[in-house]
């Protein structure tokens, strides 16, 4: 049975309490640094980018298994939803998923080896 994304399109209420719809648009890999994977989400024309550390992703995948495109979209989408619904202001440097965060999100999503 194939995995179906739950966060390709999702709603999240920001600090103002208004619910907004977010949708996944595209993914890519940055060829610099630790080669992070970038996930682009759209909110009525405004683009938000979530970065998954390439090193963290490689480490997890070598220890367990390779994640599907849909699973990675859900990792980025769940992370973004959590940040939007949190108390902190959204900032580019806060939209980066490191090793500990990656493991926690995968566990919350029920994604295992």
Secondary structure, 3-state, the chain: CCCCCCCCEEEEECCCCCEEEEEEEEEEECCCCCCCEEEEEEECCEEEEEEECHHHHHHHHHHCCCCCHHHHHHHHHHHHHHHHHCCCCCCHHHCEECHHHHHHHHHHHCCCC
71 assigned to some structural domain = yes
100 assigned to some structural domain = yes
Q: By percentage, how much of the chain surpasses pLDDT 90?
A: 80
Query: In the prediction, which pLDDT does 52 show?
Result: 98
Supply the range of the domain harboring residue 62. 51-113
How far apart CA 54 and CA 57 sit, in angstroms, is: 5
105 assigned to some structural domain = yes
> Tens of pLDDT along 18-35?
899 999 999 999 999 899
pTM for the whole structure: 0.93
Number of domains in the chain: 1
Residue for token pair 């992370």? 79
> Tens of pLDDT along 64-83?
999 999 999 999 999 999 99
């Amino acid at each position: 049975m194939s995995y179906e994304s739950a966060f390709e399109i999702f709603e999240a209420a920001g600090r103002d309490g208004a619910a907004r719809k977010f949708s996944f648009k595209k993914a890519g890999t940055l060829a610099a640094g630790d080669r992070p994977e970038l996930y682009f989400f759209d909110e009525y024309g405004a683009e938000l980018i979530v970065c998954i550390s390439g090193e963290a992703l490689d480490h997890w995948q070598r220890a367990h298994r390779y994640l599907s495109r849909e699973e990675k979209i859900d990792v980025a989408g769940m992370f973004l939803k959590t940040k939007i619904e949190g108390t902190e202001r959204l900032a580019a440097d806060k939209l980066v998923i490191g090793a500990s965060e990656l493991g926690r999100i995968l566990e919350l999503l029920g994604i295992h080896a």
